[in-house]
Structure formats: structure tokens, C-alpha cells
Amino acid sequence: MGAVTSTAPSPGSPDSSLLDLAPVIPVVIVHDVADAVPMARALVAGGLPAIEVTFRTPAAADAIRAIADEVPDAVVGAGTVLTPEQVETAVAAGSRFLVTPGWTDRLLGALDASGLPYLPGVSTTSEVVALLERGVEEMKFFPAEAAGGTAYLKALASPLPRARFCPTGGVNASNALGYLSLPNVGCVGGTWMLPPDALEAGDWARVESLAREAAALRG
């Protein structure tokens, strides 16, 4: 089986890897579907087109659908995907990529069958090797800080040079650049450009400003 990379269309380059669309993928938890579109527009305007909407609330699928329908420049995907049934729901809602916190054979089979690019979650060397054996070369490293952070990923770079990662979990504005400086990191996932008080107030200008700062981390 050939190498599987997370290729997702982008406004600038249709053949770009998901890991290369922007230095940061916002990890979004949507409680109110009405917030989905203005939030996505703010993130895209700030330079972060890839948006991961997590399946942590009942609003997730409708939020993905709204963004897919109304924000054409967004590359919206589903995160915290745990079951084949959620894969089907995400695809039906219009997701353009899938992200999982971990993987099983059953879940990986559903991810493959979806036809979408995906980032399966890993936190150990054995999981990385197992995915490489299956031809999967792009992965989510989660929970990044708790699982060893930049030191762990740096140690993987030499023995496993084909593996590329999107570290998520404890990544923030102060440590993101340390991850992005590693040769095996394509982008990071985080929530710091979506502070709860800004979301509660509908302060999309602030979200756009924070997104622009995040997009500039890798100039």
C-alpha cells in the first residue's frame, strides 16, 4: 500500500497536505450553531482556513454543515471522531477531513473507507510504527504536552523520518513555535485564538486578530 498523506483542498493549492494549509488548525467546540459561521469567517479572515470542529457537543454536525455551506474558503473537518458512525455523520455533514484522538483497527478502516484525508491520533512510538506500516504518514500527536512534548517528537525525527505530526493538547501561543520548529511537525492544533470570553461576547474581530497572530507563527 502506498503512503497515505492527509491531502485536502486549499484555496491556494488544491493538492496541499492538510498539515501545510496553515501553521495552526483551530480546534473548535461549538455549543451554539449560530456561532459557527461568524467564527469560521473570522478564522479564515485571520489566515487559518483549516478548522477542526470537534464531536464534543450535539451541535457539532450542524456546525460543520453550516460552515461547509456558508464559508467556502474554509476547509472544515471533524475532530474527536471516535466511531465509524461518527465518521459517517461527519462525511454527511460536509467534512473535508477527519481527526481522531487515537485509533483502532475498526476506526482506521472507517477512516480509510470515508475517502477523506485524516489524522489518526498517536502518543507512542509503537502506534507511529504501526501506522507507518499501514502507509499512514501524517498523524495527530495527542495529548502533546502530556505525552512528552517537543522533546518526544524531536527524538522520533531521526528513526522515523517519514512520520509527520500535528501536535495537539496543551499547545498554546507560548509554546507553539517550539513545535513548529521541528522538522517532523507540519502544523499544530490549538484553541488559544478562541478565548471563551470572546466567543461568549461574539467578539469576532478579536478572534480574527488572534488568528492572524497564529497564522504568522510560520512566516
Q: Which residues are tagged catalytic?
A: 52, 140
Helix/strand/coil (H/E/C) assignment for every residue in the chain: CCCECCECCCCCCCCCEHHHCCCEEEEECCCCHHHHHHHHHHHHHCCCCEEEEECCCCCHHHHHHHHHHHCCCCEEEEECCCCHHHHHHHHHHCCCCEECCCCCHHHHHHHHHHCCCEECEECCHHHHHHHHHCCECEEEECCCCCCCHHHHHHHHHCCCCCCEEEEECCCCCCCHHHHHCCCCECCEEECCCCCHHHHHHCCHHHHHHHHHHHHCCCC
Rounded distance between C-alpha atoms, residue 160 and residue 174, angstroms: 27
Residue type at 172 in one-letter notation:
N
Asked whether the beta carbons of 96 and 79 are under 8 A apart, the reply is: no
